[in-house]
Amino acid sequence: MAIVQVSSDAANTFNVRYSAPFGGLYVSNPETEASMAIIKNEVGDAAWKKGFTGTKGDSVSSRIRARAKELGITPIAVTGRVTNARVVMKEMDDGRQQAYLQVTLTDEDSRTYLSVGAGSQGAQMLIRKLVSAQPGAECELNMFATYGQNKTSGKWFAEHGASFKQGGVEVKGVDPRISLAPQVQAAEAALKAAGIDDKETLSKRRQKVTFDYHLALMEEVAQRFQAWYDEQHQSEHVPASHSEGGQGEEGAGGYDEDQIPVF
């Protein structure tokens, strides 16, 4: 099995999603999605949209976790050989196009598809780690949330992250402080030089630069996985692109494309 802690009736194929208010990965199937819908209805749409609020006390996320456990849903990690990683565009119900990070893990008896909005903080951390991933090698993948307090402002905030291990060692990701921060700073400087300095415009520009940066990283990652796949199958008659399907939708309570971390 490629799933840690959770079993499923879906024969040999698993779809995995990330939920922000739940703060973890879970196996997505009709039963678990129905349970997540029940939980969302119980806590209310407004509370659900606040995202992760920690697991201590009577926080919304604590109640979500407890109720999910009653319904048989617990946070999971996934393991297997990482055989594909790419970004795909999906059309939403309102007609918008949204980018999703899709990662495929394979083992002897199952295949697992992770799909998460590429604009989310956790997905972008995972993208930076996938730059150094070894295609075809065994891995352990997890996505999670933490909750902490800003020492200066005193405000509480959530952070969403990802762990990606190969050979039992955490894969070191690209450092955004070195490669991304200068691009963000340059974009801000250009706007200010043009006399544009309102917070909303500057924030949207930071988001766009950050999003485009991670998409560019994933283009390189996808090309590397495609080259590996072609090498593995060079003697076989296979299509030029190894589209591997999967559910291709973001988890309940996940991020929209415009919810991108800023620097």
State the DSSP H helix or E strand holding residue 112, giving kind and residue range, or none if neither: strand 111-117
What pLDDT is stored for residue 88 in this prediction? 94
Whole-angstrom Cα distance, residue 218 to residue 249? 18
Contact 196, 190 (CB under 8 A): no
Reading the block at residue 100, the tokens are: 């999703």
Contact 159, 146 (CB under 8 A): yes
What pLDDT is stored for residue 227 in this prediction? 95
**Which of 113, 169, 114, 110 is CA-nearest to residue 139?**
169
pLDDT per residue of the chain (263 residues) written in tens, 0 to 9: 455 544 444 448 999 999 999 999 999 999 999 999 999 999 999 999 999 999 999 999 999 999 999 999 999 999 999 999 999 999 888 888 899 999 999 998 899 999 999 999 999 999 999 999 999 999 999 999 999 988 888 888 899 999 999 999 999 999 999 999 999 999 999 999 999 989 999 999 999 999 999 999 999 999 999 999 999 888 565 555 565 554 433 333 333 333 333 33
* Alpha helices, DSSP H, located in 172-245: 176-179, 181-193, 199-232
Sign of CA dihedral 200, 156, 174, 231: negative
Query: Read out DSSP for 28-95?
Result: ESHHHHHHHHHHHHHH-HHHHHT----SSTT-HHHHHHHHHHHTT---BEEEEEEEEEEEEEEE-TTS
Whole-angstrom Cα distance, residue 121 to residue 162? 9
Whole-angstrom Cα distance, residue 97 to residue 114? 19
Task: Tell me the CA end-to-end span of the chain in Å, nearest whole number.
Answer: 39
SS3 120: coil
What pLDDT is stored for residue 9 in this prediction? 45
Contact 5, 74 (CB under 8 A): yes
- In b/e form, how buried is each residue of 213-252, taking b as 16+ CB within 10 angstroms? bbbebbeebbebbbebbeeeeeeeeeeeebeeebbebbbb
What pLDDT is stored for residue 239 in this prediction? 53
State the DSSP H helix or E strand holding residue 243, giving kind and residue range, or none if neither: none
